[in-house]
Amino acid sequence: MQHVVLITTKQPSSNPRLLKEAVCLSEAGYKVSVVYNFWSSWAEKADVSIVRKYPAINWVKAASGPGGSATGYWYTRIRFKIFRILATVLKSNRWLQASATSQFYPELKKNAVRLQAALYIAHNIGALPAAAAAAKK
């Protein structure tokens, strides 16, 4: 069975195209994993019902919001702000450019790289560096 990993900087309930794609791939017989992170508090509650409704899909939450660890969440916000500022100055640094694409880039990358798959799909620009790193591995 081929494994497909979908990576997004949003949550399943806030990304209906991702959800539709994950469900279609799963129903077509593929092993599907979705790597996502916190995006909005309202989506947290909606995600619970989605995860329950589609247990065949491997839902990997790479990073939590302020409800999980407030200190950790604020750390990622400050880190992202610093990366974005530095990326405007150090334009040739690829790692810094990738880190400036998403607040949770390091967490998305770490979780995507752990999953061995035939195909990695970045569902938005912020997820592209994480998908590229996972595919390269």
Taking alpha carbons only, the member of 112, 26, 22 closest to residue 63 is 112
Count CB neighbours of 115 within 10 A. 18
Q: How many CA atoms lie within 13 A of 92 on its CB side?
A: 0
Look at residue 3 and give its three-state secondary structure: strand
Q: How many CA atoms lie within 13 A of 22 on its CB side?
A: 29
Domain that holds residue 36: 3-65+104-136
Contacts of 95 (CB under 8 A, 6+ apart): none
The structure's pTM equals: 0.91
Residue 57 lies in a domain: yes
Residue 87 lies in a domain: no
Residue 75 lies in a domain: no
Rounded CA separation 105/9 (Å): 8
pLDDT at position 66 is 74
Q: How many domains does the chain have?
A: 1
Residue 10 lies in a domain: yes
Residue 121 lies in a domain: yes
Residue 86 lies in a domain: no
Spell out the per-residue pLDDT of the chain, length 137, in tens: 899 999 999 999 999 999 999 999 999 999 999 999 988 888 888 999 999 999 999 999 988 777 677 788 888 899 999 999 999 999 999 999 999 999 999 999 999 999 999 999 999 999 999 999 999 98
Output the domain CATH number for residue 115.
Answer: 3.40.50.80
Element (H, E) at 5: strand 3-7
Residue 76 lies in a domain: no
Residue 113 lies in a domain: yes
